[in-house]
Amino acid sequence: MRGILAGLVIMAAFLAPTDGRAQMPQPTVFDVTDMNHDGKITPDEYRARMVEVFFLLDQGKKGYLVKGDIPGVNDEVFRAANKKGDGKLSLEEYLDARMKDFEAADKGHKGYLTREDTEGQ
């Protein structure tokens, strides 16, 4: 569950206005991830958004993430995701970890997430 929170915090950081000007209300993280706007985040929608987040975090375009690239991730979570143990998360490792977070947040094992599933994470 902590992984979902970290993912949502990371996504929110990329949605926040950065120039100090007044902005129209920003879509929520849920709204951005729910690509077809049906009120549900499917595994495909979540995975697609996590691919986007991976490449946003990989600012050096290295093709992998190190712990310092991921705001708020703790050592234990990073090590668990880093299956190769090389200190670098490949896209595959990152997505595997994020999809486990999705499954953990899917209350009732419905196969999708609702706003209620993601609130309070």
Length of the chain: 121
pTM over 0.95: no
Any idea what DSSP says for residue 26? Answer: P
DSSP alpha helix (H) spans, 1-121: 2-15, 29-33, 43-57, 75-81, 91-105, 115-118
Write the pLDDT tens digit of every residue in 50-93.
999 999 999 999 999 999 999 999 999 999 999 999 999 999 99
Give the chain's domains with CATH numbers.
Answer: 2-14+28-118 (1.10.238)
User: Sign of torsion, CA 61 90 107 77?
Assistant: negative
User: Sign of torsion, CA 55 41 13 67?
Assistant: negative
Reference 105, options 97, 117, 119, 120; nearest CA is: 117
Write the pLDDT tens digit of every residue in 33-61.
999 999 999 999 999 999 999 999 999 99
